[in-house]
Amino acid sequence: MWKRRRSTQDFSEEIRAHLAIEADRLRQEGRSEEETTFAARRAVGNLTAMEERFHEANHWCWLDQLRQDVRGCLRQWRKRPLMAVVALLTIALGTGLNVAIFRVVWSALLKPLPYADAAELVQVWGVEQADGGMSPADRRTPNGLTVQLWRSRSRSFQMLASYRPWRATVGSGGDPERVPAALVSAEFLPVLGAHAVLGRLFATEEVHPGTDDVVVLSYGYWKMRFGGDRDLIGNSILVDSKQCQVIGVLAADFRDLVTSGIRPPSVYLPISKVAKGPLKVFSGRVIGRLGNGVGIETARSELETLARQADVETEVNGKPRGVKITRIEDEVGYSVRPALLAMFAGAICLLLIACTNVANLLLAQAIGRRHELAIRAAVGAGRMRLVRQLLTEALVLSFGGVLLGLGAAWALCRSMVALYPGTLPRMAEGGATGAVLLFAVTLATLSATFFGVLPALLATSRTGDASLRAGRGGTLPSAGRWREALIGLQVATTATLLIGAGLLVKSFTTLRSVDLGFEPDHLFTAQVALPESRYSTEEDLTRFARLWVESLKRIPGARSAAVTNTLPLAFNLLTDVQFDVSGQAGKHRAGGRAVMGDYFEALGLRMKEGRALTAADDGRRDVVVVNESFVRSYLKSIPPLGAVLRFGPRPATVVGVVCDIHTLGLRRPALPEIYMPCVALPSPLVDVVVRSAVAPAEITAGARAELRQLDPGLALAQVSTMDRIVDGEFSQPRFQAVLLGLFAAVAVVLATVGVYGIVAQGVRARTQEFGVRLALGATAPNVFWLVVKQGLRAPLIGLAIGLVAALLTGRVLQTLLFGVTPRDPLVFASAAVLLAVVCLSSCGLPAQQACRTNVAQALRDE
Amino acid sequence: MAILQGTLDLLILRTLLFGSHHGQGIAHAIRRQSEEVLLVDHGSLYPALQRLEEKGWLLAEWGTSENNRKARFYTLTKAGRKQLTEETSAWRRLVAAVGRVLEPEGA
């Protein structure tokens, strides 16, 4: 409904009628003709202003004014193209980076999960202490028996499901391949709301030893490997050397973000395949869907109570275990969260610093334009109108910058995802555009507010007459304060960012200096998994290992070869081995590493004492080598060489002590380990290592050929080189350190420019003052130090604030740091000194100019 | 004396209670009836009239004044009458309340 609006003309007519009537009245009172018109006019006031007000109240004139302001703004830019370009690029840099990182953060951490009622989905963990340790290292997979009890007795959950990330070998004959897989209980797929597009999902009785030779395929794998063959349902395929019936194919839109955030499983198998013991208990990670309106804490305490009951019923002694429940929403992207948030924080700091520079630029410009603005005010522009004009300019600037930045952001984001070591979850899903654009608009508006409001208010403040008289180049006392505040803020932010980057760099170098304990170059690595169906006895496993090492040695270019159950840095726990030390009381546990072939020689392990295990020891069960940590933990009181360890009834003599290696990653301390010949500890998982005279990649083809000859049903998986594995340990910290280092470098440059700009402006505005000072006998050093002292005040205060802020906020980096505390004095001191020097030098140049003030010139201008 | 913010609407409505008026007439009437105390700023009178008209409290028509001048005449509508009653009693309450604050009983 649109009411017909009055035209301005109609309004003017009314006003004119008013004037006429007023004049009539005055005339009746007996005034002269000239007097009446004038008096009537005076009584009515500013006619044009009145009409304008009517017009403004009735029309969308802000649109007109916006157009005017934008045009005016573009005119300003044309006059000062350099300033416009610098400001635009600064904003583009700051916002582009933020938008790019936000896109990653949104996809990996914030985007709603593709599950119905995702808030009900939770992950259940066991924790060592009842009071619930929060660190990821404390979270355990809950005990299988306990989970069984939970499933039957818990009332807090609609469903509880178990799963295990897995790798399965699919197919046989010429082309078996290892694919990402998941072992799941029957509830797992329904909990996530998955549907089968063909066939069905697992029935409860299928997740049971004996009836569990069934498999569900992911849509993508079904399409890729089986060409979308609809007749596959009901037929069998070979999975882990067992004929398994394909019972279903998952819907194309199902996303499994739980079993692995990185490569989704291609096949799902019943988790009963790993069931153990007479009770056929399987253990795995646990997820669940909470009942309607059940809180996490309620569910947690219920499960904890049930877990205690289970401990009592099964007569398990020991520390009471706790339960921890986290939302799936928080679990997806859990591992990348600290790094991403650190990057995001860095980018926001950078934007703040960039905006400060733009604010300074605009402030200088606005002050330069005070004369113009005063004239505008004098001819009738209201203050709001002027403020709006200046704000519009800021908005145009920021939206222009963001638009530029947005273009860069897409490219930046793509390269960031590509360069990111490891995989960022959910990047390929898309659906980020809306959120990213909204973020960009918000960013533009906030930036414009940040750098636009202050100059607008200061430049239009009510000292109009003064600035009319003062002419061009007038200064504004209150502007100085604000500028100092801006500079302080900028230096403070820079300091925080610099310290963050410094901590990461130091952490990286510390990690780099960790002793690997072996020689990673020229090492070919791979893995073979032996299916239980064909390699069931210890003899089978040992025979395969022996034959396999012999075949590997035959590969051209191979110098020495060995197999083991777990290679260094493979992130697999070693086999738990129970033992006691002869002559000492008490049983202990340590990691058992089974080796076959010249393992020590191949890896280049260094011996501390005694001798290494060699191929000659392959058949012996009575010799072991232990590592330094083992000696520290268990053989402190006796000479390690010749010590006898008892594994059940079987004794073995320690023949050597080897240097520690970091099995669980360089960030984790080395654990006590026992190296023993393969016969003493057969394993169905076989890690391969070959030291080669040629490039390790050239070994691959030979290894595949040898394996096919040995057993065509096996697949060579996780082919890599040790150099690459070791580099994988450094890649994350390196990426973080380099990225934040770059941010910090840009920040320092921006801050330098900022401080320099402000001090130089101040010096220019005070030329006359310096002229007078020099004329009255001040020496050049006097003036120099005057400028430096005043110029440094704000940056130094900012620096102090920045250091304090870094002290307070450093803890957010904690999880990313290795061997460095968030309050590392060296990093703080270096950052402080660096920034102080930078600020000093950016004050020095303008100060020198101040000394060189031409006295005669300055006084003549007075 | 300038007119207190927000009371101009009330005064306009009251002036129109006993018949239609044009803008100048309204301003004049307010001045006269307040015994030259309240001076209507013309810059706010016409926007106020415009506002009241849009709210449906006034009706405007072009007509002819007593001096045979063309003028825009404003008349109170039914809604305007109701508004006037409400605003008058609100105003009375306000005045009484302010009065009590300024001169507390027994002081």
Band (A1; pLDDT cuts 50, 70, 90):
very low
Amino acid at residue number A646: R
Identify the H or E element spanning A151: helix A144-153
The model's pLDDT over A474-507, given as tens digits with 9 standing for 90+, comes to 455 667 788 888 899 999 999 999 999 999 999 9
CA angle A435, A436, A441 (to 5 degrees): 100
Does B77 have pLDDT greater than 80? Answer: yes
Assess contact for A416 and A104: CB atoms under 8 A. Answer: yes
Two tokens, residue A213: 């030779």
Residue of B42, B45, B53, B64 to mutate for A, most A C-beta atoms under 10 A: B42
Mean pLDDT, residues A429-436: 80
Q: Read out DSSP for A98-143?
A: HHHHHHHHIIIIISPPSSTTGGGEEEEEEESSTT---SGGGEEPPP
The distance of A379 to chain B (nearest Cα, Å) reads 18
Q: Judge contact between A627 and A661, C-beta under 8 A.
A: yes
Task: Say yes or no for a CB contact (<8 Å) between A17 and B42.
Answer: no
pLDDT at A838: 92
Tokens of A659: 């240097």
Q: Residue A602's pLDDT band (boundaries 50, 70, 90)?
A: very high
Question: How high is the pLDDT of residue A571?
Answer: 66
Please state, in angstroms and rounded to a whole number, the distance separating the CA atoms of residues A685 and A541: 9
Round the CA-based radius of gyration of chain B to a whole number and report it: 16
For residue B19, what pLDDT band results from cuts at 50, 70 and 90?
Answer: confident
Residue with tokens 């300055």: A858
Identify the sign of the CA torsion A398, A400, A403, A409: negative
Write out the two tokens for A623.
């010799």
Q: How far apart are CA A419 and CA A595, in angstroms?
A: 36
CB distance A25–B28 less than 8 Å? yes
**Tokens found for residue A771:** 């002229």
DSSP code for A281: B
Nearest CB among A20, A46, A54 relative to B69 is that of A20
Contact between A136 and A664 under an 8 Å Cβ cutoff? The reply is no
Q: Is the ipTM of this complex over 0.85?
A: no
Residue A526 Cα distances to A340, A700, A709, angstroms: 31, 9, 17
Q: How far apart are CA B82 and CA A270, in angstroms?
A: 78
Confidence of residue A684 (pLDDT cuts 50, 70, 90): confident
For A:50-69, CB contacts with B below 8 A are: 50, 53-54, 57-58
A49–B42 C-beta distance less than 8 A: no
Question: Which residue in this structure is represented by tokens 């990821």?
Answer: A136
The continuous run of DSSP H or E covering A707 comes out as helix A699-710
**pLDDT for the residue A493:** 95
A691 burial type by CB count under 10 A (0-12 exposed, 13-18 middle, 19+ buried): buried
The label of the residue with tokens 């890896």 reads A603
Report residue A492 CA to chain centroid gap. 23
- The bridge status of strand A322-327 relative to strand A685-692 is unpaired
Would you place residue A461 in the very low, low, confident or very high pLDDT band (cuts 50, 70, 90)? confident
Which chain B residue lies closest to A2 (C-alpha atoms)? B54
Bridge partners (DSSP) of residue A162 are: A286
Q: Given CB atoms, is A24 within the 8 Å cutoff of chain B? A: yes
| Nearest CA distance, B104 vs chain A (angstrom) | 40
> Above pLDDT 70, what percent of chain A?
91
pLDDT tens-digit readout, A301-341:
998 888 888 777 765 555 556 888 889 888 887 778 888 88
What local confidence, expressed as pLDDT, does residue A475 receive?
54
Task: List the CATH code of the domain at B7-102.
Answer: 1.10.10.10
Sequence-separated (6 or more) residues with CB below 8 Å from residue A408 = A92, A93, A96, A100
**Average pLDDT in the A656-667 region?**
88
State the Cα–Cα distance between residues A713 and A530, nearest whole angstrom: 9
- Check: CB of residue A597 under 8 Å from CB of residue A619: no
The residue written with tokens 């159950």 in the block is A565
Provide the Cα torsion B38, B40, B44, B48; round to 10°.
80
Mean predicted confidence (pLDDT) in A188-195: 92
Residues 661-700 of A with CB under 8 A from B: none
Beta-carbon-side half-sphere exposure of residue A483 (alpha carbons within 13 Å): 27
For chain A, give the longest Cα–Cα distance: 134
CA A26 to chain CA centroid, nearest Å: 79
Residue from A21, A29, A36, A55 whose CB has the most chain B CBs within 10 Å, to mutate = A21
Q: Is the pLDDT of residue A66 over 90?
A: no
Q: Is the pLDDT of residue A651 over 50?
A: yes
Q: Which residues of B touch A50 (CB under 8 A)?
A: 42-43, 46
Q: What's the whole-number average pLDDT of chain A?
A: 85
pLDDT for res A331: 84
In the predicted structure, residue A717 carries a pLDDT above the cut 70:
yes
In this complex, the residue of A22, A49, A54 whose CB is nearest that of residue B24 is A22
Q: Any chain B CB within 8 A of the CB of A14?
A: yes
Instruction: Compute the distance between CA of residue A694 and CA of residue A698 in angstroms, rounded to an integer.
Output: 7
Residues 6+ apart with CB under 8 A from B38: B1, B3, B11, B30, B31
* Structure confidence at residue B9 as a pLDDT band (50, 70, 90): confident
Stretch A801-821: mean pLDDT: 89
Give CA angle at A191 (A189, A197), nearest 5°.
Answer: 40
- Please name the member of A21, A25, A53 whose beta carbon is closest to the beta carbon of B47: A53
Distance CA(A322)–CA(A308), nearest Å, equals: 9
Q: What does residue B93 show for φ and ψ, rounded to 5 degrees?
A: -60, -40
CA-closest candidate to residue B69, choices A41, A26, A33, A21: A21
Numbered residues of chain B with Cβ closer than 8 Å to any chain A Cβ:
22-25, 28, 41-43, 46-47, 50, 54, 65, 67, 69-72
**pLDDT value of position A53:** 66
> Is A861 a residue whose pLDDT tops 90?
no
Given a contact cutoff of 8 angstroms between Cβ atoms, the answer to whether A628 and A669 are in contact is no
pLDDT digits (tens, 9 = 90+) for A225-282: 888 889 999 999 989 888 899 999 999 989 888 886 557 899 999 998 887 766 777 8
pLDDT above 50 for A3: no
Beta-bridge partner residues of A179: A168
Tokens of A365: 């410009």
Judge whether residue A372 has pLDDT over 70.
yes
Mean pLDDT value of segment A48-53: 68
Q: Do B54 and A3 touch (CB under 8 A)?
A: yes
Mean pLDDT of all residues in A132-140: 58
Tokens 């904003």 belong to A91
